[in-house]
Structure 1
Amino acid sequence: MDLRIFTEPQQGATYDDLLAVARAAEQFGYDAFFRSDHYLAMNTDGLPGPTDAWITLAGLARDTSTIRLGTLVTSATFRYPGPLAVAVAQVDAMSGGRVEFGIGAGWYEEEHRAYGIPFPSLGERFDRLEESLAVITGLWETPVGQTFDHDGVHYPVSGSPALPKPVQSPRPPIVMGGMGKKRTPALAARYADEFNLPFVSVDDTVTQYERVRQACRAIDRDPESLTYSSALVLCCGRTEEEIARRAARIGRDVAELRENGLAGSPAELVDKIGRYREAGSQRIYLQTLDLADLDHLELVASEVAPQI
């Protein structure tokens, strides 16, 4: 079971804050450092303001050495697929092939209004996501010396040299996820290397993973060729007082976190991770909301990770 650190910088973080967490995660042996791709804080002032996901990851690519880096997840509404393919390939090269590319349709309408980004209907957002995936993977997988064309409705491409190529061949791993019943599993089966479920119960995890497996079978893909993962908010402590202090720091109730997140003592975390493992999860993203509390990461690395 891999453990990965997942941050939400739109809630208030500088690049230096994120670098400190990424370096600590690397030092403590976590598998990866991921960040959200948002421009607007949720239920907080978000000071000093948002940081761009791929600019952040470019910096971390040079300021770390071994930990894998990615987004959970980039919004397809934020960037045209051609320039996005260039940016991700470049960050992959800057990191020596450590990038993982999470992408989704986008959902947070307020941040689109706040930064002048068009926010089409849900159906069109999924259409654009599907076409973005076709363009991005097409650009990355076109052999060097050949050109790429895409007869698309939203993103037509003609005569592209399809450069640069990412370091990872044929491309960085693609992470997709969500609870959509039809298009989400179908797109994941076609394009994803990993399917992620954020903040979902064990029972819903079982149900959605099976939808993805059925979508894989429908196109003759081995369902076990995907990695299945979960994301859960982290709140661990050695004592009840420590758990309560960490919950208060992120504005959450301990009982609610125990029910819906990954909260409690190290032994409680091991038990709950085990339940997600039985549901099919192979990887857990630990949503880390208090970026100043590096001791939190050390506690999980030393007392939870060895047991799973």
Structure 2
Amino acid sequence: MTEEFKLRVFTEPQQGATYDDLLRVARTAEAAGYDAFFRSDHYLKMGSVTGEPGPTDAWVTLAGLARETSRLRLGTLMTAGTFRLPGPLAISVAQVDQMSGGRVELGLGSGWYGDEHTAYGIPFPSLKERFDRYAEQLQIITGLWATPPGETFGFEGSYYTLADSPALPKPVQSPRPPVLIGGTGKKRTPELAARFADEFNLPFVDLDTAVTQYERVSAACSAIGRDPGEIVRSAALVLCVGKDEAEIARRAEAIGREVPELRANGLAGTPDEIVDKIGTWRERTGITRLYLQVLDLSDLDHLELVASAVAPQL
């Protein structure tokens, strides 16, 4: 059975957004029929924007949205493993899963943005250590969730040790909330995805890069005897859609980008152009979910245009 193709909204609140801004976007997305609302997990702006009024915490945000939405899936692309200890993160995600009635997904990465760690006093180890810790974090979080009620969980690694953990609370979703892994690393990323991922996401890459990386993940699955078809394939691309060239140009200017660059590297153009580009991605990569990176969170008409003029053609 082929999974239905799903459009998801992906926001970057570190660029400057309040919780209320995100709530408006999430409610608009839910009313318009999108499958999910995801957000980045960053504490510092990127590029020339001011970032004001400052960052919002990803899991605090999702906890609030869990109570103020009813259908949307909710998740992170990606929570940084450097930000939170694995045990408390498993607790937070399980709690938000309960608060949402089982609508949460955990995107987890190793962490990469050094400046935000410096800005807020977060340790930032070497890349090798971050990945070593990341592998242990995935083992711990999935292990805690998989521990049967009444039993305890233990783990002894190079960086984390858990003893006699009651492995509570349990998430609503069974066997667990979906775990998303992503990135273009050639060896360790595909290996970790094969072991732990329910979904593999590629953000802001070209088609050829995507095809090659999905093939690496499939090969890593086959190497450990896992069916590669068990892992959902998804991608994230920046969104800039308009009914005509003037509207496309206005939306590109609002996010500080050029239309030709967006057409080449993102999802920019008229609704029909977007449908064609998504069709090419689906045909070549087999993705069944697409995360639309929405950078102007005040432009709710943008979301509604895609929902009314693009989604029905998919």
TM-score by length of 1: 1.00
Cross-structure match for 1:58:
63
1:296 aligned partner: 302
Structure 2 residue 222 is the aligned partner of structure 1 residue 217 = yes
Structure 2 residue aligned with 1:129: 134
1:8 aligned to 2:12?
yes
Give the match for residue 20 of structure 1: 24
How far apart, in 2, do the equivalents of 1:295 and 1:228 lie?
Answer: 28
Match of 1:91 among 96, 107, 110: 96
Cα deviation for residue 161 of structure 1 reads 0.4
Counterpart contact for 1:262–1:272, Cα < 8 Å: yes
Give distance in 2, aligned partners of 1:291 and 1:151. 43
Amino acid at match of 1:277: R
Residue in 2 that maps onto 1:286: 292
Aligned to 1:188: 193
Q: Is the 8 A contact 1:5 1:34 kept in 2?
A: yes
Give unpaired runs (5+ residues) of structure 2. none
Alignment partners' CA distance in 1, 2:6 and 2:289: 5
1:201-212 equivalence runs, <5 A = 201-212=206-217
Measured against aligned partners, the alpha-carbon deviations of 1:214-233 in whole angstroms (never above 9, x if no partner) come to 00000000000010000000
Structure-1 residue corresponding to 2:160: 155
Tell me how far apart the structure 2 counterparts of residues 260 and 131 of structure 1 sit (CA, whole Å). Answer: 34
Which of 20, 31, 37 is equivalent to 1:33?
A: 37
Structure 2 distance, partners of 1:241, 1:65, is 36
Tell me by how many angstroms 1:152 deviates. 1.2
How far apart are residue 291 of structure 1 and its match?
0.3
Residue identity in the other structure for 1:283: R
Instruction: Find runs of 4+ consecutive structure 1 residues off by over 4 angstroms.
Output: none
Counterpart secondary structure, 1:3: strand
What does residue 171 of structure 1 align with? 176
Name the residue aligned to 1:275.
Answer: 280
2:118 match: secondary structure: helix
In structure 1, C-alpha distance between the alignment counterparts of 2:9 and 2:199, rounded to whole Å: 16
- Report the TM-score when normalising by structure 2: 0.98
Using the TM superposition, give the Cα deviation of residue 254 of structure 1 relative to its aligned residue in structure 2, in angstroms: 0.3
Q: Do structure 1's residue 105 and structure 2's residue 107 form an aligned pair?
A: no
Give the corresponding residue for 1:307.
Answer: 313
Q: What fraction of aligned residue pairs are identical, expressed as a percent?
A: 71
Q: Could you tell me which amino acid in structure 1 is paired with residue 135 of structure 2?
A: E
In the alignment, the residues of structure 2 paired with residue 301 and residue 35 of structure 1 have an alpha-carbon distance, to the nearest angstrom, of 19
Deviations 1:24-56 (A, max 9, x none): 000000000000000000012100000000000
SS state at 1:231 partner: strand
**Could you say which residue in structure 2 is the equivalent of 1:244?**
249
Q: Is 1:209–1:280's contact at 8 Å kept on the other side of the alignment?
A: no
| 2:36 partner amino acid | A
Provide Cα deviations, 1:117-157, integer angstroms capped at 9, x if missing partner.
Answer: 00001110001110000110111110010000001111110
Q: Distance in 2 between matches of 1:112 and 1:237?
A: 37
Aligned residue type for 1:262: L
Pairwise CA distance, 1:280: 1.8
Q: Hey, what's the Cα distance between the residues in 2 that align with 1:132 and 1:20?
A: 33
Instruction: Write the deviation string for residues 60-86 of structure 1: whole angstroms up to 9, x where unpaired.
Output: 000101100000000000000000000
Shift of 1:286: 0.1
Please report the RMSD computed on the Cα atoms of aligned residues, expressed in angstroms.
0.5
Shift of 1:170: 1.2
Q: Distance in 2 between matches of 1:67 and 1:76?
A: 25
Show structure 1 runs of 5+ residues with no match: none
CA distance in 2, matches of 1:45, 1:117: 21
The one of 55, 65, 70 equivalent to 2:75 is 70
- Aligned equivalents of 1:146, 1:230: Cα separation in 2: 37
Which residue identity lines up with residue 204 of structure 1 in the other structure?
A: T
TM-superposed deviation, 1:282: 1.2
Distance 1:151 1:109 in 2: 28
SS at match of 1:224: helix
**Paired residue secondary structure (1:123):** helix
Deviation, structure 1 residue 207: 0.4
1:15 alignment partner AA? Y
